[in-house]
Structure 1
Amino acid sequence: MKVQQIKQAVRLDALEDWGVAGLPGTEPARVSGRQYVIPGSEAIDTGVFECTPGTYRRSVKQAEVMHFIAGSGTFTPYGEETIHFRSGDTLFFEANTEGLWKVDETIRKVYVIF
C-alpha cells in the first residue's frame, strides 16, 4: 500500500502506553502513541503521540516535524525563548534540539522524526 491514512487522528483510540516522562519534583506526564511504518523508509519514525499535563526534557537527536491536533503548552529550547503552542500549530525541530516541555492541556500530535 503506497498511501496510509490515519482517519480522525484526533479521536484515535488505539494508542499504546509509552510510560511516563517528567522532571524530579514535578507531576509526571503519561505518554502514549501509535507508530506507523512507511515501507522502504523504516528509519523514519512517524505516528500519533499523546501526552498528559506535566513538565519534561526533550532530548531527541533527530530532526522532527509535529502538528498539534489537540492541547496546548510551551517548549523552551535551551538558551532560547519559550515557544507557546496549541491545537492547529506546527513545530519544526532541528536535529539535536533540546529543551523543556510544559504541557498545560493534554496534547495530541502527528509527528515525523527523520
Structure 2
Amino acid sequence: MTIQHIKKTTNTPELESWGSVGIPLSDPACELRGIKKVIPGREAIDSGVWECTPGRFRRQITEGEVMHILAGRATFTPDDDHPIAIETGDTVFLSPNTVGIWDIQETVRKVYVLL
C-alpha cells in the first residue's frame, strides 16, 4: 500500500511551474503551477493539485473532472449554459466534454481528479 500525503495543501510550496494555459483569452496569459499524484494501480487517472493565476482561458480538457477548490475565486461559463461562480470550499463535478471559459478573478488552487 502506498499513501501520499501533502501537508497544508492550501499553501504547499511543492507546486511546479506548468507554464501558461493552452488557449489564453487574456494578456498576460494565466500561469499554471501544480503537482501530479499517481495512484499505484490507477496510473491512467490524472490527479493532483492545480493552481492558476488570474485571467481568462478556454477549457479544452474533455475528460470528466472532480475538483475541490482550496483557495481562490473564479467563474466558469460552459458553452451554451449559464456562468457558475466558484469559490474557496466549493466542490465541482464536470461531465465529460464540458468545455467553456474560465475567468479566474483570484488565484485558484484546487485538488482535481480527471476521469
TM bucket (normalised to shorter chain) is over 0.9
**Whole-angstrom CA distance in 1 between matches of 2:2 and 2:32:** 29
Partner of 2:13: 13
Q: Which runs of 5+ in 1 are unaligned?
A: none
Shift of 1:6: 1.8
| TM-score, normalising length: structure 2 | 0.94
Q: CA RMSD in A?
A: 1.0
Name the % identity: 47
**Whole-angstrom CA distance in 1 between matches of 2:84 and 2:28:** 21
1:1-114 paired onto structure 2 within 5 Å: 1-21=1-21, 22-23=24-25, 26-114=27-115
Shift of 1:50: 0.4
| TM-score, normalising length: structure 1 | 0.94
Find the residue that maps to 1:43 and give its secondary structure.
Answer: coil
- 8 Å Cα contact 1:27-1:55 kept in structure 2: no
1:68-94 C-alpha deviation (Å, 9 max, x unpaired): 000001000000000001000011000
Aligned length: 113
| Structure 1 counterpart of 2:37, one-letter code | Y
Q: Which runs of 5+ in 2 are unaligned?
A: none
1:7-53 C-alpha deviation (Å, 9 max, x unpaired): 11101101111111212x53311001000000010000110000000
| Structure 2 counterpart of 1:84, one-letter code | A
